Structure 1
Amino acid sequence: MQKFDLLASFDTEKYHLTLGGFYPSTHIKYKYLYVLSCIFNLFISWSQFLSMATFSYFNSSNLEKLSEILLFCMTQFAFLNKLTNFVAQKTSLMKLEVMLQSYLLTNVTQKEIDVLENHIKEGRLLAKVYRVLCFLVVLFYALFPFLDDRSGESHKFPLPCWFPFDEIKYYYQVFFMEILSIAVGAWINSNIDILTVMMCVLATAEFEVLRNRLATILQPLSTSASIAEGDALVKTKLRDCVNQYDELLCLVNQIEITFSKGIFVQFFCSVIVICLTGFQMIVISFNSMQFFLLIVYFSCMMCQVAMYCWYGHTVMESSDKIRDACYLADWNESDLIVQKSLLMIMERAKRPAILRAGNFFELNIPTLMKILRSSYSYFAVLQRLYGKK
């Protein structure tokens, strides 16, 4: 048996969120720097959101302009809610770290290490794709005001916002602050998303490790010199499996407590964002730079929602397969105590571990389909209203 560091799987996200001032830090020496970073990031993000919300109010009668600003405004709203929930759940986050350092979860064989590493590699690969999409969104927002000549304006900004001063007079300062706000939002938001996904990846991998342990739990009976010694080893392994199963169920529950409220707001806003992105793509020219920006933005939003639903679904599926693992064990060769214990595990496994968003939506593939259907329904309504005008 070897000790496997589960916390290392999200070291990158932890480091970035600590730099942003949002992850609980143990570095007392840099405490004030983290606090200043947190205040600065919150100030610039809230300022951007309030500026866009004010612009939306003054342009509520223009459907095309309103959809353009609400597109990013809803994304910013979801990000700020997710960030607020993340900061409020610091205690729960620390509990998650403690759970992931449990002896039963971290002491594994070489074969089990391979299982854990394969799952983590898959999660990291998706994280890289998501980060690239976020980077491209920021890059396109920075470039399209200079490359897109659809309006003929000489001074265009990445986002339409309201300012209590003449923004053209301070064009470069305002332009820089808008891009900085977009970059900060993409940076922090992506790290919170990937951190949540990596937690789901670890839960899925640990369920698979448990499944393999249960399927081979009766091997000591065939390898031990005496029946009594084999029975003792089997009962010890079974007790560890039961405790590990309880810890995994608590882990999934703690993941839900920590992130579910933020995910709920994200799902609600994603329906609107996907709808508005599709609407914007049909009302602007296909040859414009903004159209390519919207394609990248749409891909990023889809990746974000799909990540949550896909990995929530894998957690549910992996926990559901615990029943099969108990049945595949040669239970007919064990004594009555072991058979009863396996039966109790199977009964509990009939109710799989399910992650929910705000106790309303389950994180699974059917929920993803519901989000897409809802987005299309609102898109059809907007298209019809725009056609009448």
Structure 2
Amino acid sequence: MYATACIQLGTLFSEDDLSIKKLSENLTVSFINGITIARQLVIKSNAKFRKILRKAIESEQQIYDCEDEKTSRIYTRFARNVNRNVIRYLASLSILFIQFCVIPAITDPVEIQVNNNRTKLVRALPLPLWFPFDQQKHYTMTYFLDLLNCCIAGGFLTCTDLLMVIMIAYPLGQLKIVQTNLENFEIFKRKFRYDGKMNAHLAFIEIIKKHYDVIEYINDFNDIMALVALIDFLQSSIQVACVFTQILGSKVTFFTVGLVFSFFMSMIVRVFLYYYYANKVTSLSLDLAYSIWTCNWYEQPTEVIFMMRMFIMRCQKPLNFKIGSFGVMSMQAFLSVLRATYSYMMLMYGVSK
């Protein structure tokens, strides 16, 4: 599908009169599928990705298998929050998929002008793809081939995005456990059945180990996905802008507005989930230092107080998901995508006039 979309993009640029509407339709599909393919290639080819995924699954299973009900309850609450947001994203994609499939079949053909002042009727198709035959002459076959491509592309996009969102959100659940153990350190250290000093020492070492595991996970994830995140950041604003510019210079109908709105909301929710959870991880990693301050740190043994001070110093360096070497994934970066989207929309609107 991606290859045929790229071929169709090439044919658009070869035309004497470049249509902004057709270009926007093609770029909207090409960009989102291109970044999905890039992520899939990284997932398939990088052994380190499979390693951190397996480690995350094992860590989550250990949380649910442990006898500490409080820890399980914290992680379950976090998982439910992620699941709710994922379900919202799935709902938006489902509505978009139905619109992509149904609207072309129920809309009336559009009359366009061809050479020698002749006109012909053109029926809409779900996707702007290239086929080695006359698509209007063989409309039924083309329509069902487009539906097949919609199913394949939609499945890949959905699975890839869900995996990425969950993997970005995963450290948040681990950090919430660390935060709770720090705030309730006096209770947490009682699980170690030794004398008072040894309990505090072992308890804080366990907290440090879990925190280090999160740091290592994020560093490995950045090594694998930082470049893809940069490409996604650069293309997201153009892709979302192209969604809106599809209605430029064309007859605006209820179906067109509905499709554009659904596409826009789906892509915005997609980008928002990435940057929202990445921002939450950064924010919570900084809050861990305050969590130590709220516990009875002054009553702990001297060596534990020293470790707490070192822990606070480490927390001053936030944990970030990187966008290449360009920046970090945060809500500020998400707002930058929205601002760039507006700029591209105004540019394409000016070109189309």
TM-score range, shorter chain: 0.7 to 0.9
Task: Please list every run of at least 4 consecutive aligned residues from structure 1 whose deviation after the TM superposition is greater than 6 angstroms.
Answer: 220-225
**2:98 maps to which of 117, 139, 142:** 139
Q: What is the deviation of 1:249?
A: 0.7
Q: What is the deviation of 1:331?
A: 1.4
Query: Are residues 1:156 and 2:124 paired?
Result: yes
Query: Are residues 1:190 and 2:158 paired?
Result: yes
State how far apart, in whole Å, the 2-side matches of 1:220 and 1:77 are: 47
* Bigger mean CA offset, 115-124 vs 284-293: 284-293
**Contact 2:43-2:49 at 8 Å conserved across structures:** no
State how far apart, in whole Å, the 2-side matches of 1:56 and 1:48 are: 12
Q: How does 1:261-276 map to 2 (within 5 A)?
A: 261-276=227-242
Query: Are residues 1:52 and 2:8 paired?
Result: yes
Query: Are residues 1:324 and 2:290 paired?
Result: yes
State how far apart, in whole Å, the 1-side matches of 2:339 and 2:109 are: 32
Q: What is the deviation of 1:201?
A: 2.3
Query: Are residues 1:253 and 2:219 paired?
Result: yes
Q: Residue in 1 aligned with 2:178?
A: 210
Q: What is the deviation of 1:72?
A: 1.8
Q: What is the deviation of 1:222?
A: 9.1
Q: Residue in 2 aligned with 1:36?
A: none
State how far apart, in whole Å, the 1-side matches of 2:205 and 2:61 are: 11
Distance change >3 Å, CA 67–CA 103, structure 1 → 2: closer
Q: What is the deviation of 1:304?
A: 0.7
* Bigger mean CA offset, 319-328 vs 251-260: 251-260
Q: What is the deviation of 1:110?
A: 0.8
Q: How does 1:217-366 map to 2 (within 5 A)?
A: 217-219=185-187, 229-366=195-332
* Bigger mean CA offset, 112-121 vs 367-376: 112-121
Q: What is the deviation of 1:366?
A: 0.2
Unaligned runs of 5+ in 1: 1-44
**1:126 maps to which of 85, 98, 102:** 85
Query: Are residues 1:63 and 2:26 paired?
Result: no
> Can you list the C-alpha shifts for 1:100-119, whole angstroms capped at 9, x where unaligned?
42499634621111111111
- Using the size of structure 2 for normalisation, the TM-score is 0.88
Amino acid at match of 1:66: L
State how far apart, in whole Å, the 2-side matches of 1:193 and 1:218 are: 40
**Contact 1:55-1:160 at 8 Å conserved across structures:** no
Q: What is the deviation of 1:207?
A: 0.3
Q: How many residues align?
A: 341
Unaligned runs of 5+ in 2: 112-120
Q: What is the deviation of 1:135?
A: 1.8
Amino acid at match of 1:250: E
Q: Residue in 2 aligned with 1:110?
A: 69
Q: Residue in 1 aligned with 2:339?
A: 373
- Using the size of structure 1 for normalisation, the TM-score is 0.80
**1:94 maps to which of 51, 60, 72:** 51
State how far apart, in whole Å, the 1-side matches of 2:127 and 2:61 are: 50
Aligned to 2:325, the other structure's residue is in SS state coil
Amino acid at match of 2:53: L
State how far apart, in whole Å, the 2-side matches of 1:103 and 1:148 are: 48
Distance change >3 Å, CA 104–CA 295, structure 1 → 2: closer
Q: What is the deviation of 1:221?
A: 8.1
**Contact 1:104-1:244 at 8 Å conserved across structures:** no
State how far apart, in whole Å, the 1-side matches of 2:38 and 2:46 are: 12
Amino acid at match of 1:373: R
- State, as a whole percentage, how many aligned pairs show the same letter: 16
Q: Residue in 1 aligned with 2:40?
A: 83
State how far apart, in whole Å, the 2-side matches of 1:366 and 1:105 are: 35
State how far apart, in whole Å, the 1-side matches of 2:189 and 2:208 are: 19
Aligned to 2:246, the other structure's residue is in SS state helix
Amino acid at match of 1:171: Y
Could you say what the CA RMSD is over the residues aligned between the two structures, in angstroms? 2.5
